[in-house]
Amino acid sequence: MMNIPILKHTIEFLNIIARVFHRDDDTHLIDQYLTNGKSRAIPIFVFMNDSFEQLTVWRPRAKKYKVLSIKLEVINCQIKPILILIFTQ
């Protein structure tokens, strides 16, 4: 969960809207993003455009620079995401 504050600062800098959904309260949403088809692992970041079409999904991994790579994906994205869904506990 250490990546949530980093993402928060990034989306504030880029002027992107973020919405947070609690895993156990919004199962109809989280079940669309199950890890390995069965697990409700969190956090999950879903990046969408202004038409609410999914651009990319980021799930935490142990790789050292994964947060940096998602920042660069967002910055270099042809369609600027305006909404990020964040699932937390």
In this structure, the strands spanning 83-88 and 17-22 are: parallel
Residue 53: both structure tokens together: 């079409």
| pLDDT tens digits for range 7-66 | 888 888 888 888 888 888 878 888 988 877 778 877 888 888 888 888 888 876 545 445
Question: Which has the closest alpha carbon to 50: 15, 72, 14, 79?
Answer: 79
* Predicted TM-score (pTM) of this structure: 0.60
pLDDT tens for residues 67-83?
555 565 655 555 555 55
pLDDT score of 30: 86
> How many Cβ atoms are within 10 Å of 45's Cβ, its own excluded?
22
How far is residue 6 from each of residues 20, 46, 70, measured CA to CA in Å?
Answer: 15, 15, 11
